[in-house]
Amino acid sequence: MPLIKKASTDTADEIWKNDYLDSKRIADYLTPFIDGITQPFVISLNAPYGCGKTYLIKNWAQDLAKRDYKAVYFNAWETDYTDDPLIALAGVMKEQLGQQRKEIEELISNMGAYCIRKIAPAIIKGVVAKIAGQDVVGVVSEIAKFSEKDFEEITQSFAKDALERHTQARESVVSFKKKLSAIVNNKGGQKSEGENKKLVIFIDELDRCRPTYAIEVLECTKHLFDVDGVIFVLAVDKKQLQETVEKIYGTRDGEGYLQKFIDWQYDLPTPDAHQFATKLFYEDFKLKNASNLTDDNSAITGGSNLIYGIAIVAATYHLTLRQISHIFTDIVLDLHTLVERQAPCCLALGIIAALRYVKEFQSERLYWDLANQYGPKDFIKDVRVYMGSAPAPWHGDIKYKIPALRAIYTNNTTLGELVTRRDMLANNPMRSDDEGLKRDFNEVDRIVMYRDEYKVGQVSPAQAVYDRLRRIPVS
């Protein structure tokens, strides 16, 4: 489990390195908000899969710790095998707030009476189960020996024990909050100079936990940690968490239930396709280190072209972040099958791997030649429309991109026809001043340039790549 070490000497730039989704900007925006909070508070950072929730809160916790906050990162999913999230969370606090280890140990030991409230019913259930497993006639004959007074005494004893447990649990909670407040305010601890009197606890992966555990974590944050200066930041997919609540309580108003625990919600921005593909390439799949790829703009091996190919298809056809992740899995599988020096054809690989997830493009249309009536012409037309209606910094100049997209669908035969037509027109003196023709010539030259980079024989790069990808099923 990653620790948030207060003694870290990392600079802000080192903490936020590989920040492909601009998470530091969000943390810098929200930190002054936390600075102004004095009461117990719960913040929900809401985003679906792929928006960088874990990266954000892990690094934000480190950033706050460097600024002398008491910051704790708690992955709820990693501990949902336990029966009580309080014990798991306290254990993480003990690990990550090393300077106050002694005070946290006292905090944990003080909660015995509170934790036993869950054990006692389990013990009773165990006794009942044991009795139920015995001979029914024997049990009934033993019960028949009990007098009315015996039953009355047993009932009173159970009631008295239950009341005592309740009282002890309540006193335990009161004591817990006092000790927690002392930890927040550094009373009895070794306070470092300028240390902030706030405890910020980041909870991750709550929506992945088993439903009962997720609810217990929420109840724990509200009922036990409602102490001034204690702030929870929950990184969740709100939709999934609502479904968890509705499943447990049989209600259709999961959002209303969550509002009892969450004081403020911030919706994280959804990354664009290029941002997310870049993050997956460098951070998640670490393809920069792949032996058959290079960190440059090569059409054959360049990682930037692989990213661009995926991103332009994903953006044009509105693929989900999860689909983009599946595309990268397919690409990794494909790269592992390449023999030494075999060209991955990165731009073609990115485009063809992504188009397999677009319903409009059936398998046989993915690699048809540019001269065909269907197939890539539709794709290039759609890209033109998308680029024209939704400009973005990563699009680049469309006149330089389209020839590259056409080149991957050009086989040797079509390439020869393009060159022959260009030469015939170029030798026609009547057309020498035609500006439109000059633009056509330039585009053909760029197609030739891109096409010559690929070493795939007579077929188009698109078909060569698709023939490789056929072995990998679409997720």
* Percent of the chain clearing pLDDT 90 (strictly above): 46
Q: What is the mean pLDDT of the chain?
A: 83
Residue 437: the pLDDT is 76
Which backbone phi and psi does 43 adopt, to 5 degrees?
A: -110, 135
Beta bridge partners of 75: 204
pLDDT digits (tens, 9 = 90+) for 46-94: 999 999 999 999 999 999 999 889 999 999 999 999 888 988 998 999 9
Query: Which pLDDT band, with edges at 50, 70 and 90, does 367 fall under?
Result: confident
Among 86, 73, 76, 75, smallest CA distance to 199 is for 73
Sheet-wide strand order for 264-267: 70-75, 199-204, 230-236, 41-46, 264-267
Query: Which pLDDT band, with edges at 50, 70 and 90, does 365 fall under?
Result: confident
Domains of the chain, first to last: 12-115+167-267 (3.40.50), 273-469 (no CATH)
Sign for the pseudo-dihedral over CA of 364, 369, 372, 378: positive
272 CB-near residues (< 8 Å, 6+ apart): 311, 315, 392, 394
Beta bridge partners of 73: 202
pLDDT digits (tens, 9 = 90+) for 147-159: 566 556 666 665 6
Residue 319: the pLDDT is 96
Give SS3 for 266. strand
Tokens 């035969």 belong to which residue? 413
Alpha-carbon distance 335 to 327, whole Å? 12
Query: Which pLDDT band, with edges at 50, 70 and 90, does 280 fall under?
Result: very high
Cβ atoms of 475 and 354 within 8 Å: the answer is no
pLDDT digits (tens, 9 = 90+) for 413-457: 888 888 888 888 777 766 666 777 777 788 888 888 888 888 888
Among 168, 184, 174, smallest CA distance to 104 is for 184
Residue 203 has pLDDT above 50, yes or no: yes
pLDDT digits (tens, 9 = 90+) for 290-340: 888 998 888 899 999 999 999 999 999 999 999 999 999 999 999 998 877
**How many CA atoms does the CB half-sphere of 393 hold within 13 Å?**
3
